[in-house]
Each structure stands twice: as C-alpha cells, then as structure tokens.
Amino acid sequence: MKHRSSYENLVRLRDKPCFTAAEARKAGVHPSLLSYYVKKGLLQRLGRGVYMEPNATTPVSFQWEELIRIAMSVPNGVVCLISALSYYELTDELPRKHWIAIPHGTTAPKRKEVRFIRMRNMSLGNAQEKIGPFSFQIFDRERTIIDAFRYLSREIAIKSLKAYFDAKGHKPDIRKIKEYAKKLRVPITPYLLTVTT
C-alpha cells in the first residue's frame, strides 16, 4: 500500500518528459522506491538519477520529443552543433545522436544516445527555447554557426552559414556572428564574404 501511495505522489512528475530523483524526493518518494518502480516496469531509468514513465506521451511534435527529454535530463546541458543546426533547419545532416554541450570541467552523465561536447563559455549565445509546455537550453543560431566552424567539418559549417543567410522568416545578424567569432577566436570574415557576395 505504501508503494502505491508513493507512486501516486509522482503523478505530476510523471507528466513531464523526465524527472530527477531530487524532484521525486521533494514529492515524498524515497530514491529506493524509484529503483523498485523501475524493476516493476512502472518507471524507466534514463540515466543516473533521471527517470520517466515508460508510456509517457509528450504534447510536442514526435520529431523533438526525445531531444527535449534528453536536454531536460542533463543538468547545465545545452543543445548544440548538429542537433541545434537541425532544430534551426540549417543543415540536412541527420543527427544519429543528440549533441549536448556541457561545461568544460564537468563529468558527462552516461547516455548512449547523446554525444557530449565539453565547452567553455557556456553563457555566450545560450538561449531558452520552448516547445509546447517544455523549456530547454539551446545555443542560438549565431553561436551554433560559429561552433560549427570550431567542431565540425568545413563543408558542414559553410553549408550551415549559407542556409543561415538564405533562411526565410529570420533576419541574419552579422554583427552578432562577428562578435561571437571574435570571442571564440574563429576567423569568420573570409566565409562571410564567400556567402554574402
């Protein structure tokens, strides 16, 4: 009976894409009970201290459901590189894994479906994005473009820069691109000249 009433205490948390053991404790559920619920198939463990209901449905597009779940499950994680380029429709690359930036000195949590990139200056271009009722951190378009030149192939980076300038419904911000490039030491001017002339 105790297990059942504790499981009912999780009702609000089970509606989220995922929740942490700390959130469960605040709801009055001890971490040992979470392990019990995982064994019974009532919860799924995504990673250390992160859980979800196995049959949970997220009121967002299926295309972004897993990305939101992953982004919300990584403390201080920021969606970056291929995942961010894909989200902003600046690449035709299909992300085989979700790309998440974490602060340089931190240990990456264990996740099979995630590629973690340790970065410095996590605040530059860090934006909050909202899909349905869920918010997550993602680098803005301009930071994502600059990071593409830092971490990805030149071909992908140049294509994404070109897509950035060709995109409809979003005005390119050359000043911001140059500012980010200067701060992150990326020689962007030759590439800007190539795609804007």
Tens-digit pLDDT profile for residues 122-153: 999 999 988 777 788 999 999 999 999 999 99
Tens-digit pLDDT profile for residues 80-111: 999 999 999 999 987 789 999 999 888 887 77
Comparing 19-28, 48-57, 80-89, 102-111, the range with the smallest average pLDDT is 48-57
Residue whose tokens read 């085989």 = 96
Report CA-CA distances (Å) from 116 to 76, 119, 189: 12, 9, 28
pLDDT (0 to 100) of residue 1: 41
Residue whose tokens read 């974490």 = 102
pLDDT (0 to 100) of residue 56: 63
> What DSSP assignment string belongs to 137-191?
EEE-HHHHHHHHHHHS-HHHHHHHHHHHHH-TTS---HHHHHHHHHHTT---HHH
